A and B are shown apart, each in its own frame.
Chain A
Amino acid sequence: MLKSIIVTLILIGSGFFMSAFLVGYPVAGKKYISKQREKRKSLRYGSAYFIGGARGFRGGK
């Protein structure tokens, strides 16, 4: 009984913590910009990344 109460509290607590601190979601803003900046440093003009237009799966049609 006590074990089940502890398990329930741990599960709900974990769920609440991850919901409150938005764990696992992509982050926009400064974090995104710095990640993109690092990514672009390693790319050269003319690589696939620089091909214009939308990036959907239809884009290559």
Chain B
Amino acid sequence: MSGNDDVKSMKCAACGGDITKSYRIVDEDEEIPIARCVSCGTEYDQYTGEYYRYFADDFTYDKDNSILKLGLKGVLDGIEYEIIGRIRMQDEDEYERSTWDEWLAVSSDGVYHYFVEEDGEIRSYEEYVPQSINLEASDSHIEFEGKKISKDEAYIGRIVYFEGELTWLPEIGEAVTCYDFKKDGYKFTIEQSENEVSITRGDKLTYREIIDAFGDDEDRKLYENTMKKRREFRNKALVYLAGALLALAFSIYSCSTSEEIKGVMAGKKAIADNKIITDKRSVNYFSQILYGPFEISGGESLYDVDVFIDERVQRLYLEWQSFRFMLIKEDRLSRIINNNYDAELLKGLFTEIDARKEPIESYVITGDFWDEKGVDSDGPWHESDLNASASFVLKEDGKYYAYLELYSNKPRKIDSVKFRVQKVKSYRYMIAVTVLLLILVVINRGKSSLYNELPFEIADE
């Protein structure tokens, strides 16, 4: 007995016309396959038996990729079994192939036994007679030995192939309502078709048990090789994971370790305060402030400078402000101005600072703050950027000044722009190493599940 005879030559149940493959559009743009009558247009989707008869090949093309086959004999837990039949089922809710095989075996003492094969796993099931069962206990649930099982947990399997001897005569496309649930450490399955209810109880088998029972030496060798390689990939993934965690710990430690330089804004000399700068197009405002001196010590280190708008002093609203931050060594500045910190002299010096052949500053950072709003296709928006930061390495310890130059389209309080200098540790490379190692973890974890020398699928054990 075999299941897929004459399925392609089937005719429309309504008019006897030819049936052809077609598509139906669902959820706006998703195409699902259906069968359609070319004469009357009747559609057969996955909720009809005709659909499974028409598309039988799509659900059975890999039916021979299994260690189990008809007539195979094997000994499991001291009992000899012979495979005598098989049914392949397809999950009705899936458009793609989502099948499982139920192999019927008979033991040497004449008892029927099922081996259910799905996604590379095999479960061993035996028929079970429950103490009590009520499939119509209520509209919402069934009852099995006092356990309530929601009818929402049921799923429909459709028979797409059968072969060999079976305990009943199935039909391609026949619907079977299935319940899978656990009770007392066992997995139970109830399968309810139009005229039959089958209850089985089972447990998972390892592939080693199946291959020892039904396989040959070549299968055992390929299985051993596969498991060995999978273990190797799994161990590699563990090594990379350990490395990733170490790199991540180092990154977190570095990221959370910072030392703020104290008193960077303590001494303040305002050289210019909102000086009006006019050109042909606009009027802008220019301020110059010298802060410090403050002590930087600790040898060659990495520093972060954050420059930001303190909106407690003045809100930045629909305007912009640019800044230039310069770090200037005290002894260098003192030498140039002969220790004369007169405001006018400093003003002259800093106004021409870019024109000096010999640079005064040890480092410079520039940036912008802005606040804007508008309307686009998503509606009104309001955005701002009130922070800027930069990192640099400083080798020379000593006292430094911070020179801040501000340029804005509206008058701005000079105290509304603040900055902080922090001695930090580099962590960006360790973050990159963490990411690289995690990628290697994922690759090797995937290989540890997928590597397979056997001609049939075996799940990760």
Contacts and interface: CB of A to CB of B under 8 A. Distances in A.
Given A14-B433, A22-B300, A53-B277, A8 B239 contact: yes
A26 B393 contact: yes
B322 A56 contact: yes
A54 B369 CA distance: 12
Contacts, number: 145
A8 B284 contact: no
B250 A16 contact: yes
B243 interface: yes
A56 B370 CA distance: 11
A52 B368 CA distance: 16
Interface string A46-61: 0001101111111101
B265 interface: no
Contact of B407 (A1, A22, A29, A54): A54
Interface in A9-55: 9, 11-12, 14-16, 18-20, 22-23, 25-33, 36-37, 40-41, 45, 49-50, 52-55
B426 A25 contact: yes
Q: How many residues of B sit at the interface, in one of the four size bands? A: 35 or more
A56 B430 CA distance: 32
B35 interface: no
5 contacts: A4-B235, A12-B433, A28-B395, A41-B357, A61-B282
Given A8-B243, A11-B433, A12-B247, A25 B357 contact: no
- Of B235, B250, B355, B356, most A-chain CB atoms within 10 Å: B355
Contacts of A53: 277, 286, 405, 407
Interface string B426-461: 110110110011001000100000000000000000
B391 interface: yes
B387 interface: no
B405 A54 contact: yes
- Of B235, B243, B286, B367, most A-chain CB atoms within 10 Å: B243
B281 interface: yes
A1 B362 CA distance: 49
Given A19-B254, A22-B426, A36-B359, A56 B323 contact: yes
A15 B354 CA distance: 38
A61 B306 CA distance: 25
Given A4-B236, A12-B243, 6 more contacts: A1-B232, A11-B437, A14-B429, A19-B425, A30-B395, A54-B406
B84 interface: no
Interface of A: 1, 3-5, 7-9, 11-12, 14-16, 18-20, 22-23, 25-33, 36-37, 40-41, 45, 49-50, 52-59, 61
Contact of A18 (B329, B363, B429, B444): B429
B289 to A, nearest CB: 13
A54 B366 CA distance: 7
Nearest to A33: B359
B392 interface: yes
State the majority secondary structure of interface residues on B.
mixed
A7 B440 CA distance: 10
Interface string B274-289: 0001000110101000
B246 interface: yes
A31 B432 CA distance: 27
The 10 residue pairs across chains A and B that have the minimum distance between CB atoms: A56-B322, A28-B363, A8-B243, A15-B433, A54-B407, A54-B322, A56-B368, A36-B359, A4-B236, A18-B429
- Of A4, A5, A37, A53, most B-chain CB atoms within 10 Å: A4
Nearest to A23: B429
A33 B246 CA distance: 38
Contacts of B406: 54
B245 to A, nearest CB: 11
B231 to A, nearest CB: 10
Nearest to B427: A19
A58 B357 contact: no
A52 B440 CA distance: 51
Contacts of A40: 356-357, 359
Contacts of B322: 54-59
Contacts of A3: 236
